[in-house]
Amino acid sequence: MFIRHARAALPGLAVALIPFSVSTAHEIVGNRFFPATLGIDDPGVNDELSLPTVSSFHTGDDPSFRQRDFSGEFSKRITEAFAISIGSTYSFLHPPGGPTGTGAHGFQNVDTTFKYRVFKDAEHEFVMSVGLSVEWGGTGADSVGADPFNTYTPTVYFGKGFGDLPDTLSWLRPVAVTGQVGYAIPGRRSTTTFGVDPDSGEMTSDTQFHPNVLNWGATIQYSMPYLKSAVVDLGLPDFVNRMIPLVEATLQTPIANTLTSGTMTTGTINPGVLWVGNTYQLGVEALIPINRQSGTRVGVIGQLHLYLDDIDPRGIGRPLFGGPVQPASPFARN
C-alpha cells in the first residue's frame, strides 16, 4: 500500500447480502491464493493489517526531494464479501543538499475505502471486486502536499490464476495476474492563489487545475507455494517454497481538466518478492521510475502484512455479520 494508494469498494451493495454461514479467510479462489501486494490493491476482501509499510524514493519535482513514507492500513469485513478499510501515511520530505533534519514532515490525508467482491470463479481462479476510495481533504498537512479537498476514486479490481492451463503448460500454472483500474475525481476543479508582484506592486493570481486521473496498474506473480502443492514438489527448502516473486506496475494518467497538469503518464515498475507465512507476510520491492517526472532514482518499499482472519478467526478476524472464519492457509489450499 503505497502513498495515496486507492483501496476501494461500493458500500451500498452489502446490505442485502449478509451471509450467516462460515466463511474463509484470505482471498483463496479454488487452489489460488492471492497475496496482498504493495503497489496496487489485491482483489480480495479480508480482515488484515498492514503495519508498517515503509518506502524511500526521490520525487519527480525539479529539484527532486527525497521522500520517506511510513504508513499503516486496517481492513475490516462487514460481511464475507464487503469490507471497509482506513489508512494514512506520515511523510518526510528532504530538500536536495539540505542538512539532516531539515524539510517538511506530516500526515497525508486519511483514506477510507469500501470494497465489495462481485464475482468469484473457483474453477478458473478468477475474482473481481468493485470499490470506492475516499481521500478526506484537510486531514493531512499542507507542508507535505495533502490536498484540502476530497478525492473520490471508483475502482475495479481483478485477479486471474493460470491453474486451468493444460498439462503441456503445467510450469505456467503458478503464474497469476492481478490489476486495478480507478478514476480519481477531485472534489474541487481548481484552486486560485493571490499575491503581490514585488516589482510592480500589482495584485497577481495563479490558478491550478486539479485533473481527473486514471489510476491503473497490474502485477504478474509466480507462486512457489502453488508450484509445490499443485504442480510439482522440487524438494526446495521451505523458505523458498514460501516465496512469491512478482513485478508490479503502478501508473497514473491525467485525462480530464489537464490545463495545468498535462497528460503525461507517471509511475513506477516494482520488481520484488513476497514471503508468505501462516499468519503474516513480508514484502520488499524496488521502485523504478518510468520517466524523469516519476522520480530521479530507484527507491524501495517494504511491508509487514498481518492476516487477522488467521490470527484471531473468532474475534477481530470474524466478519461483523456472519459466522467465524475457517483459517485457510495458502499452504493448505494451494
Q: How far is CA 244 from CA 70, 220, 225, 276, in A?
A: 24, 10, 8, 8
- pLDDT value, residue 7: 32
Per-residue pLDDT of the chain (334 residues; tens, 9 = 90+): 433 433 333 233 222 222 333 333 468 899 999 999 999 999 999 999 999 999 999 999 888 999 999 999 999 999 999 999 999 999 999 988 766 667 899 999 999 999 999 999 999 999 999 999 999 999 999 999 999 999 999 999 999 999 999 999 999 999 999 999 999 999 999 998 888 777 777 778 889 999 999 999 999 999 999 999 999 999 999 999 999 999 999 999 999 999 988 999 999 999 999 999 999 999 999 999 999 999 999 999 999 999 998 899 888 889 999 766 655 555 544 4
DSSP 303: E
In whole angstroms, give the CA distance from residue 119 to residue 17: 13
Residues in the chain: 334
Residue whose C-alpha is closest to residue 152's, from 97, 213, 194: 213
The fourth-level CATH superfamily of domain 11-333 is monomeric porin ompg (2.40.160.40)
The set of residues, in sequence order, having a beta carbon less than 8 Å from that of 230 and lying 6+ positions away, is 31, 163, 173, 174, 334
pLDDT value of position 208:
92
User: How do the domains of the chain map onto residue ranges?
Assistant: 11-333
State residue 8's pLDDT score.
Answer: 31
Residue pair 151/136 in contact (Cβ under 8 Å)? The answer is: no
Burial of 319 (0-12, 13-18, 19+ CB in 10 A): buried
Residue pair 187/177 in contact (Cβ under 8 Å)? The answer is: no
